[in-house]
Amino acid sequence: MLKWLLPLFLIVAAADRATAAGYDDFVKGQKALVDLDFPHAVDLFGSALADSGLAASYRVIAYTGRADAYRYSGKCDLGLADADKALALAPGDPAATISRAEIQICLGQYDLALESYSAAMAITPLSALYRERSKLLLALGRGPEALADAEQAVQGPLDCRAWVPHSVT
């Protein structure tokens, strides 16, 4: 009986180590993103995603985080691919949808960005989203719609991100 238990134990132990390593890289990737160390964040999220044992919910966040790191690094095409992978795993995920909208702006895909912002707002109508969509509408010369969104940003659900200017875009 021990002949069968030992190999099984070793397989389970190896899987736990792989998952732990993937999770560690995931957490370090989040920290690198917060620290504005975008190349390191890309690498760490990539290592986390390479771990097949990383939970699906963490994979969505890792793809979204790497998408943002790519965008901040000016590699918006790679970021869009990762945002789409996140959304394939979790359709309608607000963070991935917002990331995709911001990347679409980076790529000059303004109409698609409006659609993405609207999709995110249908799920989570935060003031920050109204503010961002308002800025995009204003840039596109759609003043009345921009004004309506700006008013909603002020009157909508309070979200502290609505009042923090983006320092990295």
pTM: 0.79
Q: Which part of the chain is CATH 1.25.40.10?
A: 14-120
What is the H or E stretch that residue 121 is in?
A: helix 110-123
pLDDT at 164: 40
Q: pLDDT tier at 168 (50, 70, 90 boundaries)?
A: very low
What are 10-43's pLDDT values in tens digits? 233 333 444 678 899 999 999 999 999 999 999 9
- Closest by CA to 162, choosing from 127, 111, 114, is 127
What are 42-91's pLDDT values in tens digits? 999 999 999 988 999 999 999 999 999 999 999 999 999 999 999 999 99
d(CA 138, CA 135): 5
Cβ-based neighbour number of residue 135 at 10 Å:
15
Pick the CATH number of 14-120 from 1.20.1740.10, 2.60.40.10, 1.10.3720.10, 1.25.40.10: 1.25.40.10
Any idea of the CA torsion for 166, 71, 99, 90, to the nearest 10 degrees?
-150
